[in-house]
Amino acid sequence: MSGKSIDHAFTATESLGAAADPTYAGALSFMRRRFSKDVAGTDVAVWGVPFDSAVSNRPGARFGPQALRRASVIFDNDPQYPFDRDLFAALAVVDYGDCLLDYRLPETAHAKIRAEAADLLAKTGFLLTLGGDHSITYPLLQAHAERHGKLSLVQFDAHQDTWPVAVAADGSARVDHGSFVKQAVADGLIDPATSIQLGIRTHAPETCGIEILGGEAVEEMTSAEIAARIYERTGGTNVYLTFDIDCLDAAFAPGTGTPVAGGPSSARMLAVLRHLKNLQFVGADVVEVSPPYDHADVTAIAGSTVAMYVLGILAEKKAG
């Protein structure tokens, strides 16, 4: 055991380098990254947002960040496939922990998420958020648009999330996980002309001008063809990536609040992500993992792998 360590999340002294924890033990940060509230000078801060008070069906996504961290320990100290490298040799990543939200006042959550995300973005290069229900993407888009301007949204999802936004008693918009895209378009946070949704298998009243690659189209196209459509649509603009785990077929992601049959496999969507290494990503999230409905961590493993691919793309860019 010479040279080995454990609890790398607490014992690490810097943000670079692989951990040496046994897969079955040790502190459960995301991919064993050092826990730190100091993100200054880091390339990436991984951040959990345990919020699921805006779901329309099954709750449980508040436990998503915990599950994604737990599942990520399967990425032990070997070079990560398919990137064939230690992702943290040059990419400085910390796990910032979770956003503290008052469960008694869910209506205050989005403002808190937006403020904390904006603070993090002022100090780190990239924010990778673990959700949480899909409504959290709305305040995340607010924070990212404040920093980068209007964004292109690349959304992997079974749902368009463009349903009408309800109005609260005080006249404010009540954004939930099925309406956040519509509100983001209305607020000018995203440009629908350069945004695209992939894997959609439900109908909403309107598209808001966003291009849709539905479940049948995704099934018939190769991963390279899907990626080419994404490149064509986004056209070199700043891209925010949001991956709702229910984009995947329920066979590959049973642990989610609103599962939809007929979706793509995790292998297909990961292959698409692998092709997107030249997109100008400015932020990303993985949402809607609901562990109470999961089996053997199938959904959490898929979600953590999506997040790992995001880090892999960033690591490749950092390495040149």
Structure tokens at 131: 């959700």
How, if at all, do strands 166-167 and 173-174 pair?
Answer: antiparallel
What's the one-letter identity of residue 116? E
Whole-Å CA distances, 53 to 19, 175, 245: 35, 11, 18
Sign of the alpha-carbon torsion through 22, 256, 295, 240 = negative
Find the DSSP H helices in 149-187: 180-186
Q: Is 148 annotated as a binding residue?
A: no
Calpha distance 113→99 (Å, rounded): 7
* 8 A C-beta contact, residue 288 and residue 156: no
| CB neighbours of residue 4 within 10 Å | 9
Calpha distance 244→288 (Å, rounded): 6
Q: Is 246 annotated as a binding residue?
A: yes
Structure tokens at 34: 């050092």
* 8 A C-beta contact, residue 227 and residue 242: no
Q: Is 161 annotated as a binding residue?
A: yes
Question: Annotated binding site for Mn(2+): which residue ranges?
Answer: 134, 157, 159, 161, 244, 246
Going by the annotation, the residues of the binding site are 134, 157, 159, 161, 244, 246
